[in-house]
Structure 1
Amino acid sequence: MKIAAFNVQKLEWTKVNKKGVRDNIIKIISRYSVVLLVEVTDKSGEAMDLLRKHLNAYGDNRSNPYGMLCSEPLGPEGHKEKFVYFYRKKEVEIIQSHQKGENAEDVITRQPFMVLLNCSNTVVKDLVLIPVHTKPSNAEAELNALHDVVEGAREMWQTDNIMILGDFNADEPYLSNEQKEALRISSARYHWLIDDDVNTTTSNKTQNTYDRIVVYGESMLEAIVPDSAKAYNFEEELNLTQEKALSVSDHYPVEVELKVELKAEPEVELMMELKVKPEVELEVELEVELEVEPEVELEVEPELELKVKPEVELEVEPEVELEEQMEKLMMEQKAQRNRNPVRPSTGGRPPVKMKIAAFNVKRLGWTKVNKEGVLDNIIKIVSRYSVVLLVEVMDVSGVAMETFLTHLNDYGDNRSNRYGMRCSEPLGQNRYKEKFVYFYRKKEVQILDSYQYGGKDVLTRKPFVLLLNCPKTVLQDLVLIPVHTKPSNAEAELNALHDVVEDVREKWQNDNIMILGDFNADGDSLSKRKKEKLRISSAPYHWLIDDDVDTTTSNKTQNTYDRIVVYGESMLEAIVPDSAKAYNFKRELNLTQEKTQSVSDHYPVEVELEVKLMMDQMAQCKRNPVRPSTGGRPQGAQKKKRRGA
């Protein structure tokens, strides 16, 4: 159940009468159950009647036709426009409409033509739409006045299911971020669904978020399908040239999806809720069963050092490889562990595991850090890792992250195995900026160097790169390159990461490189075909998070946006096999869907590095191999070079 607002830029007879332009407008409108058209300059109404006629003759619209409702021409003389709604009559019923009156004191240039809809297939049932097209030079005053329009609609129709949508002109140079945050419709009960970094303009020369969708109240927010609010880039989706895209409009539509109400039988609904991919379910269950809880890290005490009992003699044929000897040794060690289990680590001593993760925490700033329940869950997640990169941190002053670090180091065993923190500067190409923030256990990891990558302007947020010393791992040194692409530019940004890698290799003469973060490498942002053609998809790069891993917390989506990629065979061999995965904190922390999404709309992606403990035992085994029993036969087993992990 998709709803959209689309400024079609002076939509009147001239545009509608051009078949190529009209066809593209019809394809766009046909995506939606309800669409509001803004900047319709068709005084007579003939152009809209013609558009509806062609719209209902297009494809499946013949059997699911649109109705239309138009306002009167609104605004000052010489600049009058209409608000026009198209709605699928089988899905939506217009219960009532209301034109807010004009008077001398009004600051709103085009008074909203509001509609009350019945959307019987959705969870909200009734819905009020309030259309917006502000005068750019008066945007702040008009947007502030919308609060009074909302209160009027609530009183008139006795409903809080309200959506404000249209061309707000809510970006530079008409509205600064500070002005936006001070608006009355930016207060607690209002929720802005289109993020500030979403480009709603078609021109290659501009990048602004003029068009918006705002909903009123928590119930209305709950009715929105998570991550469905976005701009529809018809230039890319319809494969148009820039010229043809601009002939349609200088704006992209903004859209959102409402949750539908399932009307299946109870048994069928239960089946739908439980339906998951069998292979994913099996994999998850195995991981849950075998995984040691983060607080119960295993440490080998000196007195419990695992050795082969002297009386155990391994009978092998002379031609048995050294690898098979080591395998038998490790099986004996496992049996001894079962007989003499290692006690959990206490007192914060370095764990055997060395986990690294990247986590998009969705607009992590003071608001989230100041919510006790949300803060506690983020701390539990971060505490799983030796190193974790946090993405989408919106903490300009740094106060929120300092507060978070204090609480993090006061949690459980973190008191004796504390975290350090390293933050980038706010990064971004416009006023929407984020930080990359690393947390690392100071007893396990040392930051040797860091630098802010400066090349390739195609990167929206240029990587803040770290060189780490991890003495307990087989790597020793490790480079981390953080990523958070802009969804609409994911392909270009991911391609540019190859140049970042080459820059790092030259700067630090090191090939132990890991790229991690929110790649937006799935769904509408990046097709599988485009992913396979990326420069970082060819040798010697290795993608560790499989394409069927869901890194989103929403029940309605299943996408692999977040990734970990390593460079080279040596780096790949340093990874514990099958350790790369998404950490489903909803299940592991036993959270409700609401509490899960209050933390983030992403799961962390994690991986484990091989530690020296096992590798040192293997090295010792190579130096002092277990002698095969010959049974009187001559010893002649030939040693072979160990294959890569």
Structure 2
Amino acid sequence: MIPKIILFCGLFLATYGSSVEKATSNPLFISFFNVQVFGKSKMSKPDVVKVLVDIVQRYDLIVIQEIRDIDEIAFPQLVDDVNAASNGAYSSILGTRVGRTSSKEQYGYIYKHERLQPVMQYEYNDRRDVFEREPYVVMFQRTAQYPGDQDIFNVIPLHAKPDDAVNEMNALVDVYDDSITMTGLVDAIIGGDLNADCSYVCSSCWSGVHLDDDPPFRWWIPNEDDTTVSTTDCAYDRIITTGQVTNNAFGAGIFYYDNAYGLSYEEAKDVSDHYPVEFYIYSMMRHILLLASFISLWIFTYAVCPEENSVADPLLVAAFNVRIFGKTKMGKRNVVKILVQIVLRYDLILIQEIRDITGTAFPALVQKVNEAAPPGVQYDMLIGEREGRTSSKEQYGFIYRTDRLGPTMNYRYTDVRGTFERPPFVVNFRRTTTTGVQKSFNFIPLHAKPSRQSAINEMNGLELVYGDSIIRTLTGDSVIAGDLNADCAVICKKCWNQIRLRNNPTYHWLIGDDVDTTTQNTNCSYDRIILTGRMVSRAFGGKVFPFDSHFGLSQDQALEVSDHYPVEFTII
């Protein structure tokens, strides 16, 4: 019976494997953005238009608010500019002009027609005249990219009147109920500039906001976030989901375009006084396909490989950023001697920041390691592609003891959204010995770009890398490690609430914020180890290896080796 089940699951994954990968690694990316007083004046500023075009292209669907243009030419012009930059990838919908005064506004949708298509659209019939700018509702359906997958949902935007924000938010319950009547769907996304903070919605006012205490409505942008470019600290812009969308949504946050594009405060304000709020939606088909994957994994692990519970034989594993590792460093005998001794300490070590266009330095290091290894001990290597957007490219390299473990699969993560400066080179390792509890695991390395928004985006992007690795390797047991630049000037204390891996219990962080992973006079926990799956209960001892004190080096001698310490842990 078991072989038949395994065969069935194998055939299922062979048939639908590419669909699983698409559904997991390429979810819908959706945003709401109040582009302050968007019209012909803003479209006449080339620098502003360039930023707006770049922002729109981040998303599969973006809802633009505060379109104020009596001639209705600015929004179509923006869509044309986006399509000029994206080879015609986008279509658009523009709602009617709404507002009680002469200063009327429109809601505008820009979406990738390859991924989404509108099924129905209408302006909410505001019989009680609650809204200053009544929502323009659109029902979207995913295009048929995945077998059996036709995800469908309503989008309900709102730019609330500041002085009437509580009443308008409460009336969204009526808009939602009406959308169910109009479309037959309970799955909806409500979003926009709800003016839901600071002087417009006081702390005590929340008890009167029905959507906040009604279980069907999930709020994704918390009150402590700041969605404004200005010096205020207000969570005006929100995302709320209902129905099946809530189960498929993840990764909500704020896109700080000023940091991402290196804009000054004034340049950012020229674009808007708000940041876009954003989140992802997985395909609903993903759950079915992932379940099949996990069934296969369970059968393989517990039926085919019962030795999983054999006697422990610990592996010592490390991640080490060897600053600018290349021929120059390999030309320094004393440095090489220390590097060899460090590598010999471990069963598996990840080396980062390999910068060597000739490709000779890393193999030379492995050769030196094998020359110094004890009798019967042999090390081998894997090295990824040269990565980076500039001429200063890097590689990830793994060195491992062949008598303890070996690679079964490796691949470069397909970074379809361009999130990573250096996309992870993922390796699945399996023990070559019969002892040890954790038989196999994925190693997901990352050397994050050391700028605040890039590091935040890259750490958040690791969610997708992890999901993709489950599909490819059929295991959720992973090590995510490397120089994440996760401290000090790069990641401020208040930034942590934007980092989803930090706030998701799926991910267990072994290196604390108070650990100094640098050999310099700084005190920064840049390098981290994060565990998932059964690795959480089968690993321990996350710490740095202070090679300077261990080998009796001065600070200058240590810095010749690297400005980072290795971070290490043990797997049973």
CA distance in 2, matches of 1:160, 1:72: 24
Are 2:510 and 2:542, in contact at CA under 8 Å, matched by a contact in 1?
Answer: no
What secondary structure sits across from 1:56 in the alignment?
helix
- Mark the runs of 5 or more structure 2 residues left unpaired by the alignment: 1-27, 299-307, 315-449, 463-480, 492-500, 519-527, 544-572
The answer to whether the aligner puts 1:531 opposite 2:480 as a matched pair is no
Q: Deviations over 1:280-330 (max 9, x none)?
A: xxxxx8999479xxxxxxxxxxxxxxxxxxxxxxxxxxxxxxxxxxxxxxx
Structure 2 equivalent of residue 201 of structure 1: 228
Change beyond 3 A, Cα 1:560–1:202:
farther
Aligned match of 2:245 in 200, 220, 226?
A: 220
Which amino acid letter does the alignment assign opposite residue 29 of structure 2?
A: K
Change beyond 3 A, Cα 1:289–1:160:
farther
Task: Quote how far apart the aligned CAs of 1:41 are.
Answer: 0.3
Task: Quote how far apart the aligned CAs of 1:530 are.
Answer: 8.0
Which amino acid letter does the alignment assign opposite residue 74 of structure 1?
A: V
CA distance in 1, matches of 2:241, 2:136: 17
Structure 2 equivalent of residue 435 of structure 1: none
Are 2:151 and 2:284, in contact at CA under 8 Å, matched by a contact in 1?
Answer: no
Structure 2 equivalent of residue 256 of structure 1: 279
The range that moved more, 166-175 or 120-129, is 120-129
Structure 2 equivalent of residue 86 of structure 1: 110
Task: Quote how far apart the aligned CAs of 1:56 are.
Answer: 0.2
The answer to whether the aligner puts 1:149 opposite 2:175 as a matched pair is yes
The answer to whether the aligner puts 1:116 opposite 2:139 as a matched pair is yes
Question: TM-score, with normalisation over the residues of structure 2?
Answer: 0.50
Which amino acid letter does the alignment assign opposite residue 51 of structure 1?
A: L
Are 1:128 and 1:161, in contact at CA under 8 Å, matched by a contact in 2?
Answer: yes
Change beyond 3 A, Cα 1:153–1:552:
same
CA distance in 1, matches of 2:458, 2:116: 32
Structure 2 equivalent of residue 56 of structure 1: 83
Task: Quote how far apart the aligned CAs of 1:588 are.
Answer: 7.0
Are 2:254 and 2:276, in contact at CA under 8 Å, matched by a contact in 1?
Answer: yes
Structure 2 equivalent of residue 241 of structure 1: 264
CA distance in 2, matches of 1:81, 1:107: 16
CA distance in 2, matches of 1:287, 1:254: 48
- Mark the runs of 5 or more structure 1 residues left unpaired by the alignment: 276-284, 292-488, 493-518, 538-549, 570-579, 591-603, 609-645
Are 1:72 and 1:82, in contact at CA under 8 Å, matched by a contact in 2?
Answer: yes
The answer to whether the aligner puts 1:20 opposite 2:47 as a matched pair is yes
Change beyond 3 A, Cα 1:271–1:13:
same
Aligned match of 1:563 in 512, 515, 518?
A: 512
Task: Quote how far apart the aligned CAs of 1:30 are.
Answer: 0.6
Are 1:56 and 1:62, in contact at CA under 8 Å, matched by a contact in 2?
Answer: yes
CA distance in 2, matches of 1:236, 1:175: 28
Which amino acid letter does the alignment assign opposite residue 265 of structure 2?
A: Q
Are 1:551 and 1:562, in contact at CA under 8 Å, matched by a contact in 2?
Answer: no
Q: How does 1:14-413 map to 2 (within 5 A)?
A: 14-58=41-85, 61-62=86-87, 65-103=89-127, 105-120=128-143, 121=145, 125-186=151-212, 187-203=214-230, 205-217=231-243, 219-225=244-250, 228-260=251-283, 270=293, 289=312
What secondary structure sits across from 1:110 in the alignment?
coil
Task: Quote how far apart the aligned CAs of 1:245 are.
Answer: 0.5
Question: TM-score, with normalisation over the residues of structure 1?
Answer: 0.45
Structure 2 equivalent of residue 546 of structure 1: none
Question: Sequence identity of aligned pairs in percent?
Answer: 23
Change beyond 3 A, Cα 1:529–1:237:
farther
What secondary structure sits across from 2:163 in the alignment?
helix
Change beyond 3 A, Cα 1:52–1:560:
farther
Are 1:154 and 1:160, in contact at CA under 8 Å, matched by a contact in 2?
Answer: yes
CA distance in 2, matches of 1:176, 1:85: 30
Which amino acid letter does the alignment assign opposite residue 253 of structure 1?
A: P
CA distance in 2, matches of 1:553, 1:51: 37
CA distance in 1, matches of 2:457, 2:44: 40
CA distance in 2, matches of 1:49, 1:138: 30
What secondary structure sits across from 1:68 in the alignment?
strand
Which amino acid letter does the alignment assign opposite residue 108 of structure 1?
A: F
Task: Quote how far apart the aligned CAs of 1:202 are.
Answer: 0.7
Are 1:136 and 1:174, in contact at CA under 8 Å, matched by a contact in 2?
Answer: yes
Task: Quote how far apart the aligned CAs of 1:182 are.
Answer: 3.2
Matched positions, count:
332
What secondary structure sits across from 2:84 in the alignment?
coil
Structure 2 equivalent of residue 344 of structure 1: none
Structure 1 equivalent of residue 470 of structure 2: none
CA distance in 2, matches of 1:235, 1:229: 18
The alignment's C-alpha RMSD in Å is 4.5
Are 2:508 and 2:530, in contact at CA under 8 Å, matched by a contact in 1?
Answer: no
Change beyond 3 A, Cα 1:288–1:38:
farther
Larger Rg: 1
Are 1:582 and 1:605, in contact at CA under 8 Å, matched by a contact in 2?
Answer: no
CA distance in 1, matches of 2:510, 2:39: 40
Change beyond 3 A, Cα 1:289–1:157:
farther
CA distance in 2, matches of 1:77, 1:554: 48
CA distance in 1, matches of 2:57, 2:457: 27
